[in-house]
Amino acid sequence: MSTPNKPSKSSTPNKPTQKVAVLGTGKIGEALLSGMIRSGWAPADLLVTARRQERAEELRTRYGVEALTNPGAAERADTLILACKPQDMAALLAELAPHVTTDTLVISAAAGITTAFIEERLADTTPVIRVMPNTPVLVDEGMSVISAGSHATAADLAHAEDIFGAVGKTLRVPETQQDACTALSGSGPAYFYFLVEAMTDAGILLGLPRDKAHDLIVQAAIGAAVMLRDSGEHPVKLRENVTSPAGTTINAIRELENHGVRAALIAALEAARDRSRELASGNNT
């Protein structure tokens, strides 16, 4: 969990206390902001930026945080969390570059964007960290995968872990693994929602009311997730325990295999990994 009001990494006169700014506060930025506040960060130590004035107002009212311009936030904060879309990153960095000093830690949460992409647009030796969170940060069950750029120190990594650890687990990986982690973890929740949606449709086909089908599948998902996390058993063993000889489950498994669901998932995650790789190269379509 995070420790608010940690000592400042900078004694620059205009940065008297440790402040974290979220730049581009959309879904992920707001999820992170709300989690930091839930875990004890003082709203006074958090800054936000948003493209639209109404959005800035909404964040100010909802969280009691100060909303600034991007340059204003860069000048006031010790740590900047860039949470805009990858396609908006070059423009945001161009706006920030004159205002970011080399004692400011820059953390990017954008899919695909490499630390090198950011470093080459900011002053030499600016520490940069790449993080891939996921939306369960909203319920403090996120996973944030963290990699250091060329100039980020051990203390910078620990600071990033402190921030993202407030809303779930963190994992350090070499940056070469970030695109794969984005496919598995950043996008991961979407696959489970997709499965729940499809299985709820199956419940409708089998004659159940939608709300009951939804509740049954969601509880099966929660139960399975907790067992995966806490039982210490391999998923194959857990599945075998459900799969009785000549029973119901094996008939379903045969259909999943016949329809190539395993191969479809492997191909799907490979496509997500490939798209993450493309995003840094400026492919915006």
Ligand X SMILES: O=C(O)[C@@H]1CCC=N1
**Known binding-site residue numbers for NADPH:** 70
Closer to ligand X by CB, 57 or 197: give it.
197
CB atoms within 10 A of CB 11: 9
Half-sphere exposure of 21 (CA within 13 A, CB side): 31
- List all residues 6 or more positions away from 276 whose beta carbon is below 8 Å from its beta carbon: 111, 112, 178, 179, 182, 183, 186
8 A C-beta contact, residue 63 and residue 46 = yes
224: phi then psi, degrees, rounded to nearest 5: -65, -40
135 binds ligand NAI (CB under 6 A): yes
Closer to ligand NAI by CB, 88 or 103: give it.
88
CB of 285 to ligand NAI, least distance (A): 16
The annotation places the binding site for NADP(+) at 83-86
50 binds ligand NAI (CB under 6 A): yes
Residue 154, classed as helix, strand or coil, is helix
Helix (H) or strand (E) holding 246: none
Considering only residues 10 through 39, tell me which ones interact with ligand NAI, judged by CB under 6 A: 23-24, 26-29
Binding track, positions 192-231, relative to ligand NAI; x by CB under 6 A: ----------------------------------------
CB of 154 to ligand X, least distance (A): 27
Which parts of this chain interact with ligand X (CB under 6 A)?
111, 182, 186-187
- List all residues 6 or more positions away from 126 whose beta carbon is below 8 Å from its beta carbon: 100, 101, 102, 104, 106, 119, 151
8 A C-beta contact, residue 25 and residue 49 = yes
Closer to ligand NAI by CB, 179 or 203: give it.
179
Closer to ligand X by CB, 83 or 96: give it.
83
Look up residue 146 and give its amino acid. I
The annotation places the binding site at 70, 83-86
Selected binder of ligand NAI within 110, 118, 138, 181 (CB under 6 A): 110
CB of 187 to ligand X, least distance (A): 5
Which residue's Cβ lies closest to ligand X?
186
Which of these, 160, 164, 143, lies nearest to 152 by C-alpha position?
A: 160
Q: Where does this chain bind ligand NAI (CB under 6 A)?
A: 23-24, 26-29, 49-51, 70, 83-86, 88, 91-92, 109-111, 132-135, 186
